[in-house]
Amino acid sequence: MRFPLLISISAIWILSPIAVLADAIVEGRVNLPKSHAPSPVMAKRYEIVTNGGVLATRPPLAVVYLDGSFPAPTFRPTKQVAQKDLTFLPPLLPVQVGTAVEFPNLDDTYHNIFSYSPTKRFDLGRYRPEERPIPSVLFDVPGLVTLRCDIHEHMRGLILVLNTPYFVITDEGGRFRLSGLPSGRYTLKAWIDSKTTREQPVELKSGATLRTDFP
């Protein structure tokens, strides 16, 4: 009768240290650039803007992520960037390397999504809202991908492909919170636009919340 009990205790002893290794939290704020008012000729649909060759969101947002050496996950869910009201939703999508992204057409018109970005070049061709299966692309190299529509020139979207499973988009005030993080020493990075990524070293401890800001 004691043998099953010993197995149970052994299982708890083995699993408990693993379970507590990924419960650190880091939170803080990124000092985002000022959001300039759009010119009268620009509509709200311009959610990704180019200024001097720099791509950024409007209003400004940042992607905060933990950079380090992490084991490859056994499963990654499929993400989506929809086309709705002639915009990309969401306009900015961070994903882990190896993630497939679907591009459903929710408009009553054709779209033709493509990218000339070095990170991932593709052209999905023209397709209707009822297109099945939904056109998709596998993003297998880290970097920034700019999305465009060959039919609607104003449409812009961004996919940030990262070598980490730990990332989050800030709110419009620059605030962020990353939870379920492993203990250890890492580099915390904040992607702000296509030319600006800030970083700082962090030491995460199990069960503790670290407060850190990006000035």
**What is d(CA 47, CA 31) in angstroms, rounded to the nearest whole number?**
19
pLDDT (0 to 100) of residue 76: 80
Q: What angle do CA 172, 167, 142 make, to 5 degrees?
A: 115
Q: Which positions ≥6 away from 44 have C-beta within 8 Å?
A: 38
**What is d(CA 140, CA 97) in angstroms, rounded to the nearest whole number?**
5
The sign of the dihedral angle between the CA atoms of 206, 208, 214, 215 is: negative
| Domain covering 1-36+61-70+164-215, topology | Immunoglobulin-like (2.60.40)
For residue 36, what pLDDT band results from cuts at 50, 70 and 90? low
pLDDT (0 to 100) of residue 17: 40
Write the class of the CATH domain 74-161. mainly beta
The pTM of the full predicted model, rounded to 2 decimals, is 0.85
Q: Which positions ≥6 away from 36 have C-beta within 8 Å?
A: none
Average pLDDT over residues 128-146: 96
Can you list the alpha helix ranges (DSSP code H) found in 79-146? none
> Largest Cα–Cα distance of the chain, in whole Å?
79
User: Where in the sequence of the chain do the CATH 2.60.40.1120 domains occur?
Assistant: 1-36+61-70+164-215
**Judging by beta carbons within 10 Å of its beta carbon (0-12, 13-18, 19+), is residue 143 exposed, middle or buried?**
middle
**What is d(CA 50, CA 41) in angstroms, rounded to the nearest whole number?**
15
Average pLDDT over residues 65-94: 92
pLDDT tens per residue, range 10-25? 333 333 344 445 799 9
User: Where in the sequence of the chain do the CATH 2.60.40.420 domains occur?
Assistant: 74-161
pLDDT tens per residue, range 140-192? 999 999 999 999 999 999 999 999 999 999 999 999 999 999 999 999 999 99
pLDDT (0 to 100) of residue 37: 53
